[in-house]
C-alpha cells in the first residue's frame, strides 16, 4: 500500500487509510473502535441495503437486515481473514446469507471448511495480491458491455434464474446464457 | 475418505447462483457437498464470491434511515449478534461430507432408507419445497429406472460409481442433467452406489412399472 492514500481520520491508534477496509476490521477486532466502524458503516450499509432491495426486500426489511449485517460484522470481526477475502466480499457473503434467511426463509448448506483453517497471521503478500486481483475484477466488471453487465447483475441481485430472466426480458434463453458466458470469460482472467 | 480425481464438475450457472444465494435449498446441498470434495470448484466458488463483493461495491446504494448508525451501535452494545452466521461444518472423515451429515444426522449408517423396488433404496432429505433432494442406494450392477428429465437434475456420487451411455461417474463427480438428457444410469459392478440427487421437477419415468411407482417415490 503506498502513494494513493485517501482522506485520513484520526482515531485512537492514529490514522488509517479511509479505503483500507481490512485495517478498519482489525481495528474493530482489536480495539472495539467505533470510529472505524462508523466509516465502514457509512460505506457499506447503504450498499447492503440496496443489494437487499434489489433482491426483493421492501425498504423497512432491507434497513433492518442491513443493520443486522453490520452488527454481525462487528461481532464476527475476529473471523475475517484478509488473505481469503476482501472486506467487500466478506460483507457480500454475510448479506447474501441474511437474504436467504430473511427473504427466502431457507437454510443455506455451507461447504466444509478447509482442513487447515484460517492462518493465525495472514501473509501480507497474499493479502495484497487478493486486493489487487479484486480491484482488477471490479475494473473489468465496470468495463463490460452494458448488456452483459446487466445480466450478471440480474443473476446476482435480481434473484432470478436464467430462464426467469429470459421470460422477463423476452430474450431467448440461449442468448442469455451466451451473454453471461461471454461476460464470465472477460472476467475470468481477473478471477484467479 | 480420500477422493480420487474428480472429472465432472459443477457448471458456472450453478456456482454463480449458489454464490448469489438464489438456488433452492436442495440444490445448495448438492453444491455444498460437492465443493467439500472438490478443490477446483471451491476455488471457482471463491471467484464468484469475489465477483459478488465487486458487485456490492459497484451496484449503487440506498439511503438509510436517519439514526441508522446509532441504532446499529445500540444493537451491537446489546450483546451477542441477533443473527449469527452459521459455523461451517467441519471436515468429515466419513463417506458423507459435513454439510450432508448435517441433513442426515450422521454418516451412512444414520440414513433411514426406504426400499423403492428392484433393490433400490432412497431417503428423502428435509429441505424447502421449491426442489427436492434424496439419497439413492443402488446395488452394484443395477439400473436406475430409465428416465428423462423436466427441469434440472443434479446427481452427485458419494460411493461406488454409475455409468450411462456416455460416461462414468465416481465419488465426487456430479452429473448436471436438463430436459435434453435421456439416459439409463447403471451402478458400477464393483460396489453398491450411493448418490445424492436433487431435482426441481418430478422425474418422468418411461417404463410402465416405474411410472406406477412414481407417486410412492414422492419425487
Domains of chain B: residue spans and CATH: 12-101 (1.10.10.1320), 107-217 (2.60.120.10)
* Cα distance between residue B136 and residue B124, in whole Å: 9
Q: How many CA atoms lie within 13 A of B95 on its CB side?
A: 20
Q: Do A88 and B88 touch (CB under 8 A)?
A: no
Range scoring the smallest mean pLDDT among A144-148, B45-49, B135-139? A144-148
The minimum CA-CA distance between B139 and chain A, rounded to whole Å, is 28
Q: Per the domain annotation, does A70 fall within a domain?
A: yes
Q: How many CB atoms lie within 10 A of CB B135?
A: 22
Q: What is the mean pLDDT of residues B87-105?
A: 87
Q: Do A74 and B13 touch (CB under 8 A)?
A: no
Q: Do A108 and B28 touch (CB under 8 A)?
A: yes
Range scoring the smallest mean pLDDT among A68-72, A104-108, B185-189, B203-207? B203-207
State the ipTM, two decimals: 0.84
Query: What average pLDDT does the structure give for chain B?
Result: 83
Domain holding A186, by residue range, is: 125-190
3-state class (DSSP) for residue B203: coil
Residue B214 has pLDDT above 80, yes or no: no
**CA-based end-to-end distance of chain B:** 30
Asked if A95 and A144 sit in the same domain, the reply is: no
Q: Do B76 and A96 touch (CB under 8 A)?
A: no
Q: CATH number of the domain that A82 lies in?
A: 1.10.1740.10
Please write the tens of the pLDDT for every residue from B3-21.
Answer: 568 999 999 889 999 999 9
Relative orientation angle of helices A87-102 and B39-58, to the nearest 10 degrees: 90
H or E element: which one contains B168? strand B168-170
Asked if A86 and A12 sit in the same domain, the reply is: yes
The minimum CA-CA distance between A114 and chain B, rounded to whole Å, is 7
Q: Per the domain annotation, does A118 fall within a domain?
A: no
Question: B203 or B149: whose pLDDT is higher?
Answer: B149
Chain A to chain B Cβ contacts (< 8 Å): 214
Q: Give contacts of A77 with chain B, Cβ < 8 Å.
A: none
* Cα distance between residue A27 and residue A18, in whole Å: 12
- Please name the residue of chain B whose CA is at the shortest distance from the CA of residue A107: B25
Cell of B115: 426400499
* Cα distance between residue A27 and residue A13, in whole Å: 9
Q: Per the domain annotation, does A141 fall within a domain?
A: yes
- Please name the residue of chain B whose CA is at the shortest distance from the CA of residue A188: B47
Q: Do A112 and B73 touch (CB under 8 A)?
A: no
Looking at mean pLDDT, say which of B77-81, B131-135, B210-214 comes out highest.
B131-135
H or E element: which one contains A90? helix A87-102
Residues 6+ apart with CB under 8 A from A87: A21, A22, A24, A25, A40, A44, A80
pLDDT in tens, chain A (192 residues): 443 344 444 445 667 787 789 999 999 999 999 999 999 999 999 999 999 998 889 999 999 999 999 999 999 999 898 888 899 999 999 999 999 988 888 889 999 977 554 455 667 787 788 778 788 888 888 888 888 888 888 888 766 667 777 777 777 777 777 777 777 877 776 655
Q: Do B32 and A93 touch (CB under 8 A)?
A: no
Q: What is the mean pLDDT of residues B96-120?
A: 93
Residues 6+ apart with CB under 8 A from A41: A70, B68, B69, B72
Question: For chain A, what is the domain count?
Answer: 2
Interface probe with B: pick from A44, A99, A111, A133, most Cβ of B within 10 Å: A111
Q: CATH number of the domain that A171 lies in?
A: 1.10.10.10
Amino acid at each position: 500500500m503506498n502513494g494513493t492514500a485517501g482522506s485520513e481520520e484520526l482515531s485512537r491508534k492514529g490514522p488509517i487509510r479511509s479505503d483500507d477496509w481490512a485495517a478498519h476490521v482489525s481495528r474493530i477486532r482489536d480495539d472495539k473502535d467505533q470510529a472505524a466502524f462508523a466509516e465502514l458503516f457509512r460505506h457499506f450499509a447503504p450498499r447492503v441495503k440496496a443489494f437487499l432491495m434489489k433482491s426483493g426486500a421492501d425498504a423497512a426489511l432491507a434497513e433492518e437486515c442491513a443493520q443486522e449485517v453490520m452488527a454481525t460484522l462487528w461481532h464476527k470481526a475476529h473471523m475475517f481473514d484478509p488473505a481469503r477475502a476482501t472486506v467487500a466480499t466478506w460483507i457480500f457473503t454475510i448479506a447474501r446469507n441474511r437474504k436467504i434467511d430473511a427473504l427466502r426463509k431457507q437454510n443455506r448448506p455451507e461447504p466444509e471448511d478447509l482442513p487447515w483453517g484460517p492462518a493465525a497471521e495472514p501473509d501480507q503478500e497474499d493479502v495484497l495480491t487478493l486486493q489487487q486481483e479484486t480491484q482488477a475484477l471490479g475494473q473489468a466488471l465496470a468495463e463490460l458491455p452494458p448488456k452483459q453487465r446487466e445480466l450478471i447483475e440480474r443473476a446476482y441481485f435480481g434473484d432470478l434464474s436464467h430462464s426467469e430472466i429470459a421470460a422477463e426480458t423476452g430474450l431467448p434463453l440461449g442468448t442469455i446464457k451466451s451473454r453471461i458466458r461471454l461476460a464470465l470469460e472477460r472476467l475470468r482472467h481477473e478471477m484467479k | 475418505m480420500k477422493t480420487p480425481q474428480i472429472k465432472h464438475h459443477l457448471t458456472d450457472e450453478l456456482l454463480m447462483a449458489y454464490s448469489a444465494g438464489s438456488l433452492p435449498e436442495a440444490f445448495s446441498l448438492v453444491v455444498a457437498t460437492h465443493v467439500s470434495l472438490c478443490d477446483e470448484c471451491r476455488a471457482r466458488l471463491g471467484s464468484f464470491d469475489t465477483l459478488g463483493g465487486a458487485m456490492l461495491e459497484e451496484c449503487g446504494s440506498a439511503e438509510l434511515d436517519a439514526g441508522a448508525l446509532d441504532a446499529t451501535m445500540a444493537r451491537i452494545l446489546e450483546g451477542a449478534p441477533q443473527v449469527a452466521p452459521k459455523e461451517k461444518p467441519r471436515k468429515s472423515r466419513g463417506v458423507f461430507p459435513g454439510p450432508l451429515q448435517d441433513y442426515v444426522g450422521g454418516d451412512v449408517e444414520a440414513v433411514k432408507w426406504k426400499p423403492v423396488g428392484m433393490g433400490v433404496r432412497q431417503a428423502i432429505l428435509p429441505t424447502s419445497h421449491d426442489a427436492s433432494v434424496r439419497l439413492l442406494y443402488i446395488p452394484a450392477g443395477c439400473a436406475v429406472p430409465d428416465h428423462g428429465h423436466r427441469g434440472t437434475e443434479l446427481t452427485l456420487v458419494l460411493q461406488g460409481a454409475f455409468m450411462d451411455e456416455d460416461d462414468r461417474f465416481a465419488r465426487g463427480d456430479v452429473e448436471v442433467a436438463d430436459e435434453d438428457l435421456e439416459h439409463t444410469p447403471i451402478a458400477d459392478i464393483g460396489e453398491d452406489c450411493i448418490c445424492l440427487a436433487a431435482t426441481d421437477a418430478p422425474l418422468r419415468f418411461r417404463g410402465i412399472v416405474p411410472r406406477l411407482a412414481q407417486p410412492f417415490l414422492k419425487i
